[in-house]
Structure 1
């Protein structure tokens, strides 16, 4: 792997590692969102999703099974994006804020798909 590939992979992984740690340390806001979306067992769902972000993020950063790690992160990003950033339910500045985060997550999803499809 090239130096730029290593740096890019580590930078991409960093947001997932950070989010996973944050959600494990302070799960309440995420659990409330999961409850609002009627996710069964929201506390467990948040813990599992946070563990996936942390574990697969670390794997991606270290280059351990990067295709598997990027796939796991892409899968975990779908509910995170839809539940966490429902811009369609918001108005004004809050709508703009949530739409920006939604689009950022779509960009991350695209980067993970591109990385996962590399041979």
Structure 2
């Protein structure tokens, strides 16, 4: 892979690694959201999702099994996006804020699809 491709992959992975570490260190707000969405065993679900983000993000950044890593990250991004950014339930500035994050996650999903299809 080219240098620009490797740098791009690492930059894409960085948000997942950082978010995963943050969620492992401070899971309470994410667990509350998971409970609100009636996710079974929310504490475990948050730990697993966070571990996937750190592990698959690291693999993607290093270029190890990038297709598998991108797929794992894309799958983990779906519940994160739907549960974490329900703009349809909000109004005003909060709705705009959540919609922006929802769209950002859709863009990340698209980037993961592109990376995964090239590896």
TM over 0.5: yes
SS in 2 for 1:50: helix
TM-score, structure 1 as length reference: 0.99
Task: Name the residue aligned to 1:78.
Answer: 78
Distance in 2 of aligned mates of 1:115 and 1:4:
13
1:1-119 matches, within 5 Å, as 1-119=1-119
Distance in 1 of aligned mates of 2:62 and 2:118:
16
Distance in 2 of aligned mates of 1:117 and 1:41:
33
TM-score, structure 2 as length reference: 0.99
Structure 2 spans left out of the alignment, 5+ residues: none
1:3-46: CA deviation from partner (whole Å, max 9, x where unpaired): 10011000000000000000000000000000000000000000
List 4+ stretches of structure 1 deviating above 3 A. Answer: none
CA-atom RMSD in angstroms: 0.5
Distance in 2 of aligned mates of 1:109 and 1:11:
14
1:45-89: CA deviation from partner (whole Å, max 9, x where unpaired): 000000000000000000000000000000000000000000000
Structure 1 spans left out of the alignment, 5+ residues: none
Matched pairs, number: 119
What is the CA distance between 1:118 and its match in structure 2? 1.1
SS in 2 for 1:117: helix
